[in-house]
Amino acid sequence: EDAARERLGFSVRVAPSDIAGAGMGAWLEGRAGAGAVVGLYPGTVFLPGQLLRDSVLEWLYPDDHCFLFSRYDGVLIDARETGVVPISPAETAERGAFRRRITEGSGKVFTADPDKTTPGLLGAGHMCNHPPPTKQPNVMAVSYDFASAGFGAPNAFPSELLGCVPNTYARAPSILDGTYSPSVAMHSVLLLSTRPLQDEELFIDYRLTPGFERPLWYEPVDPEEDERRWSASAIAKG
């Protein structure tokens, strides 16, 4: 963290939230300018073609801790295996059995690497809480694809650094289910500061789906934006 702060001017740590009853939160120590990348959303990546099976959806939901993040293009990131959310031995075994089932016939079993999905330098994005009514979000989520080195792409993300990205695929992208893209090494989500930040807790608008039961603590930041966000997702998936 000291090296990060010296180089970037800030570091991000997980510590008790200022929101009563919220548990832990993500805190920025130091200073970050508006538009700075202050985090990534870690976890297991499910591509749209992998979410067509009822068994997958039944395993992913419900998301009681709000650790699932859906991109506009339908890519879903599950941060529940980062070691932050308590998972019982029984649930751990069930998750392992599930992965074996969904990868039958492929000859491989693709599982999340616990070390890779543990929050690191910027991998604590899933710990950002939804702002209380008295505050506004100070970070926003932006979908980001780390470019692959395939076909000699000039802007490819260095393959030797890909292991630093706190994401891994639930199942390797495949041409068979329409999830393979030669230009993408990893689908992810960046968290950008919406204003200059200094020594403060990070908040992001959860934008939970309208029309479904939502936690009692949840207060929409912008109800109209929530409607637009989920309407756009429905159109994109349709």
| Per-residue pLDDT at 237 exceeds 50 | no
Element (H, E) at 225: helix 223-237
CATH of the domain at 65: 2.170.270.10
More confident residue, 120 or 48: 48
Share of the chain above pLDDT 70, in %: 77
Band of the pLDDT at 222, cuts 50, 70, 90? confident
Look at residue 110 in the predicted model and tell me its pLDDT.
39
pLDDT at 131: 95
Strand-pair category, 167-169 with 43-46: parallel
Domain count, the chain: 1
Tell me: pLDDT of 86 over 70: no
Characterize the bridge pairing of strands 197-201 and 68-70.
unpaired
Query: Residue 22 is part of which domain span?
Result: 2-237
Q: Which pLDDT value is given to residue 225?
A: 80
Q: Would you give the distance in Å from CA 48 to the centre of its chain?
A: 15
Which letter, b or e, does each residue of 207-231 get, where b requires 16 or more Cβ atoms within 10 Å of its Cβ?
Answer: bbeeeeeeeeeeebbeeeebeebbe
Taking the alpha carbons of 76, 81, 84, 85 in that order, is the dihedral positive or negative? positive
**28-49 per-position pLDDT tens digit:** 999 999 999 999 999 999 999 8
> For residue 155, is pLDDT > 90?
no
What is the arithmetic mean of pLDDT over 12-29? 90
Q: Cα separations (Å) of 171 from 27, 50, 163, 167, 220?
A: 32, 8, 17, 12, 33
pTM comes to 0.79
What is the rounded distance in angstroms from the CA atom of residue 13 to the CA atom of residue 38? 11
State residue 103's pLDDT score: 54
* Whether the predicted pLDDT of 111 surpasses 80: no
pLDDT at position 115: 40
**pLDDT, the chain, mean:** 80
In angstroms, the CA 74 to CA 131 distance is 24
Nearest to 121 by CA among 182, 43, 40: 40
Write down the pLDDT at residue 98.
60
Mean pLDDT, residues 75-97 taken together: 71
Instruction: Tell me which residue of 51, 54, 98, 99 sits closest to 71, measured CA to CA.
Output: 51
Spatial contact of 87 and 80, defined as CB atoms under 8 Å apart: yes
* pLDDT exceeds 60 at position 105: no
Query: Checking phi first, is residue 207 left (phi over 0); if not, alpha (psi -120 to 50) or beta?
Result: left
pLDDT band at 113 (very low <50, low <70, confident <90, very high): very low
pLDDT > 50? residue 107: no
pLDDT tens for residues 53-68?
888 888 788 877 788 9
CB count in 10 Å sphere of residue 170 = 25
* 191 neighbors 37 (Cβ within 8 angstroms): yes
